[in-house]
Homo-oligomer: A and B are copies of this chain.
Amino acid sequence: MVDNATLLAIDWGTSSLRGALLGADGAVLDERASSRGILTVEPGGFPAVFEAEFGDWHARAPLTLISGMAGSKQGWVEAPYCACPAGAADIAGTLAWIAPGRIAIVPGLTCEHDGAPDVMRGEEVQIFGTLDLLGLADGRFVLPGTHSKWADVQDGRVRGFATAMTGEFYALLRKHSILARTLPADEAAFDAAAFDDAVRGALAARGLLGSAFTVRTLALFERLGAAALESRLSGLVIGEELRAQGDLRGQDVIVIGSAGLTARYERALAIAGARARPMHAQATWRGLWNVARSLPAR
């Protein structure tokens, strides 16, 4: 074991806790994951969980940076959102220090659009990491998920972003709506044709309130099987998300997400005429390393 650790990078989310020990060049020396997401931690219990899960690594690294929901109201310490435009250096300047110079929580980002604020917490670190890994300073990003984030980056800073509650709408419709009655109880195999057709339909449709009902009517008239209906619903919500971004033809979009979801967004973006660039590598550690590098010399 060589003692060249420079950073303990931690992604403390709602339902998971992951960490990595990084070397001088940002290389990942070791990784570790546990199920102690913030929902499992009682108020005041964060220091003890941190010590139990990462005490040994913390002793070896001069600095620990934590991103994710650990910085929310329900987390360890609330880290107020950093206003856009914001890059790794802006983030580094607004850390919420737990142990000055030793442990800090990375703030999320906020921006204003359409008369209301928008927020992200954790995705910005993945964006900064991806910029570094791909050697880019500009780009349009989508981070698909429960709450997908679309972000525009210029000169290494997030200029603005928008949330789409795509994954959550899918889950609500899949589990709790009238559509659940005609969908298979268990997850079905992916049906590419039904998915693609639904994406095309959603891109041409006026909105999800209407298009979602086709999952029911196509079942009613037995024009689509139960397994295909599930892929149709997935295509409808993802297609609706893309429709709401405006004309995507000819655009490059960097997709950061799980392998399965990224593959679906690649398909959907291609149908919308965009060029999708999937980012499969782990970008969070690299992003936190970039924030650490942006700190003033100590």
Contact = CB atoms under 8 A, between A and B. Distances in A.
Contacts of A165: 177-178, 209-210, 212-213
Nearest to A73: B220
A210 B117 contact: no
A214 interface: yes
Most central of A165, A210, A211 by chain B CB within 10 Å:
A210
Nearest to A113: B210
Question: Range of interface residues on chain A?
Answer: 35 or more
B207 A116 contact: no
Pick from A116, A176, A214 the residue with the most CB of B within 10 Å.
A116
Interface stretch (A132-140, A241-249, A258-266): A241-249
Contact of A119 (B119, B169, B217): B217
Q: Across chains A and B, which 5 residue pairs bring their CB atoms closest together, nearest first?
A: A116-B214, A206-B244, A164-B209, A207-B244, A172-B172
13 contacts: A114-B201, A114-B205, A114-B211, A116-B217, A147-B213, A164-B210, A168-B177, A169-B208, A169-B209, A207-B208, A207-B240, A207-B244, A209-B244
